[in-house]
Amino acid sequence: MTGYLTRQMSGFSATYRRELGAYFATPMAYVFLAVFLLALGLFTWEAGRFFDTGVADLQPFFVWHPWLYMIFLPALAMRLWADEKASGTDELLLSLPLGIPGLVLGKLMAAWTVAAAGLLLTLPMWASVNFLGSPDNTAIALAYFVSLLMAGAYLSIGAAVSALTGSQVTSFVISVVIAFVFTAAGWPLVLSTVQSLFGTGFADIVARFSFITQFEGAQRGVLELRAVAYFLGFTATFVFLNCLWASRQRLG
């Protein structure tokens, strides 16, 4: 069993280093980080009207995470497999005696690391609210943790679709549509429409699959194990699909 897992995960380390280096060898990672931080800052300070709340916490900051992740993270993940096809290295990569799960997780973790770097660069906002008042730092740390898990779920969508389509543009569009469905499912406007058409029970079921709904507890400083399990399970599901689609390419 141990030998089987070792074979399946072979190539993880090399793939991770290769993909992470590819992000920072081109302007992509730097452009992503700059635009992501700019958008997050604008939505927090301006759209979220941070200074009008009169409360020193990061609630206006975290509320925008699902909506910004929905756009930015598929853009970060769209190149993971489609770029291999565009450069003609996909056949060589998949012909190597490496486990598909190791390749899939290596690529996903590289993109996840870049996303984590983006979150890390927002720490001055955390320092700012501590300067302005006395926020609940435990709650903020919890929200950061669950936000990082949610980022992995969004990235897993983009990575899997990239392996399926082989086109960066197509991958981005499809990934955003899928991400929008799982994000907007918890939007009050959507829930009220579903409730009026199908009843409260069905609306509650739809809400449970929404990233917004699952992230709400963390925004309030509450650790909900169901939210952690949801994001990890969602990521695992799309990693599994990614492995299937990459295996299909290996088999031709």
In terms of phi and psi (left: phi > 0; alpha: psi -120 to 50; beta: otherwise), the region of 54 is left
Where are the chain's structural domains? 2-251
Dist. CA 154–CA 185, nearest whole Å? 15
Dist. CA 152–CA 148, nearest whole Å? 6
For the chain (252 residues), the mean pLDDT of every run of 10, in chain order, is 61 87 89 91 73 70 92 92 74 69 91 95 88 85 94 95 87 94 80 73 76 88 89 95 81 58
pLDDT of residue 221: 81
Residue with tokens 């549509």: 177
pLDDT of residue 172: 94
pLDDT of residue 248: 76
CB 171 within 8 A of CB 78: yes
pLDDT of residue 66: 93
Angle at 107 between CA 105 and CA 109, to 5 degrees: 65
Q: Could you give the C-alpha distances from 72 to 28, 75, 125, in angstroms and in order?
A: 12, 5, 20
Dist. CA 78–CA 75, nearest whole Å? 5
pLDDT of residue 32: 92
pTM to 2 decimal places: 0.89
Dist. CA 162–CA 160, nearest whole Å? 5
pLDDT of residue 180: 93
Cβ neighbours of residue 99 under 8 Å, at least 6 residues apart? 7, 8, 9, 10, 11
Residue with tokens 């993971």: 80
